[in-house]
Structure 1
């Protein structure tokens, strides 16, 4: 169903892929794109579990907005392996104003569809979502 504020629907595949990442760890990341003509959020790309954070950031377009989920693995100070699911709202300064507005107005509703997000980041350039930023947010 479309969101009254932005008119964006969320394709079922978006939720399905997220559940697979969360429950089965089938993917390392998922990149979502708003299809303006269809007025819905769709899955643009999924990353295999073996892909790195660099593979993930390289998959984000330099001048277009996207939503992304990243499953970050890390070790606690007690040497316990853990993971956190990040939601990243990628909105580069170079993207179109209309696109930034649509992504911003659709974000909260889209996030509510994905139950299990643990940490949210808003990034307008790559330094705002660097690996050091990700690491600092898990502790």
Structure 2
């Protein structure tokens, strides 16, 4: 089913991998890419449960847009283990204008396909998705 705004479909694998991250915690992160020729969002790579947030952030391309989901574990001030699922719309300033427009116009529909996202971030450079930002938004 293509998105009317941008014409992008969402590959079933995107939803399946997200469900595995959410329900089974099979993955720590998922990076999604828009395949422009096929006009669909696909899974580019997944992060193992042991992956650190720094490794995940470093895995985002420096000059290409991506969507990403990260399952962030943290401890509250009451000493409770918690987890938040972050959706990150990664759109570096150095990426192509066409790419930024496609990702921006497809984001809301794609995000609706992933039921269970708790926090959304939009970022154009690594400082906007630093660990301190993630921690502050998680609580």
TM-score where L is the length of structure 1? 0.99
SS of residue paired to 1:68: strand
SS of residue paired to 2:77: coil
**Cα distance in 2 between the residues matched to 1:55 and 1:12:** 26
| Structural RMSD (CA) | 0.4
Give the gaps of 5 or more residues in structure 1: none
Structure 1 equivalent of residue 114 of structure 2: 114
SS of residue paired to 1:89: strand
Aligned residues: 139
Structure 2 equivalent of residue 26 of structure 1: 26
Aligned structure 1 segments of 4 or more residues deviating by more than 6 angstroms: none
Stretch moving more, 113-122 or 51-60: 51-60
Give the gaps of 5 or more residues in structure 2: none
Shift of 1:14: 0.1
Shift of 1:21: 0.2
Shift of 1:131: 0.2
TM-score where L is the length of structure 2? 0.99
**C-alpha distance after superposition, 1:49-91 (max 9, x if no partner):** 0010111011100000000000000001110100000000000
Structure 1 equivalent of residue 95 of structure 2: 95
**Are residue 48 (structure 1) and residue 80 (structure 2) matched?**
no
**C-alpha distance after superposition, 1:37-57 (max 9, x if no partner):** 000000000000001011101
Structure 2 equivalent of residue 80 of structure 1: 80
